[in-house]
Homo-oligomer: A and B are copies of this chain.
């Protein structure tokens, strides 16, 4: 089985330990890259950015053996700004992410009444993708993943910040799902992988503290923040509330034209027909 997973600290509770299994091949990439791996059949199952489920050119299904989500602050899906949120006119958006950029558009529109210009930003290299311009401190930027912590900007540069998970929860009262395990409908290796992933996640539930002690530094995290993060911020399980949060997000994204239509989440236990199309 070939499994594609995000190489962030927050993914460890989903996959740590799999490296000891001989019939598993783990492929690591940033969230936005994994959908390509899956569609090209280079992996059987991948932890993809959630919105890619709706945007996929061919139908996919959810394997409900874990997710990366939240029900409040995430710490690592974060808007940084030198101007007050209400005065934002453009956002440099981390190309590692698809779902977070869509979430940003939804929140800025629904909560703040803003439709800023979006600029593709290679945050690792501090480079504007279209122009190649190097820009150390964009006026406003969306960053995701470990770099929010491991390469945190000096606070003095960004007096205005917003945690997208916290804003979503305040706005809707619902959890949010950033990434989920996706597979192609006929792939039976994905079902086998799903069983293993489900077992490993349950096993890892009790091991999070030890994992953080062992791996936080390698990912550039202070251990104190890492523990709070995987215990109190990131969620790993499909629940009905998580399903409802995901659908609420898709409906908003659809209304805003971020996606063309909302497909039901095939594979998630509570999934049902839904009606929005833009």
Contacts and interface: CB of A to CB of B under 8 A. Distances in A.
Interface stretch (A46-54, A103-111, A152-160, A263-271): A152-160
A148 B154 CA distance: 9
A213 to B, nearest CB: 18
Contacts of A155: 80, 152-155, 157-158, 161
A163 interface: yes
A149 B153 contact: no
Interface string A55-74: 00000000000000000000
Interface string A149-174: 10011111111110100000000000
Contacts of A75: 156
Interface in A129-161: 148-149, 152-161
Contacts of A160: 161
Contact of A161 (B152, B159, B163): B159
A80 B163 CA distance: 16
A159 B143 CA distance: 14
Interface string A63-104: 000000000000100101000000000000000000000000
Contacts of A80: 155
Contact of A149 (B149, B156, B161): B156
Contacts of A161: 155, 159-160
A43 B154 CA distance: 37
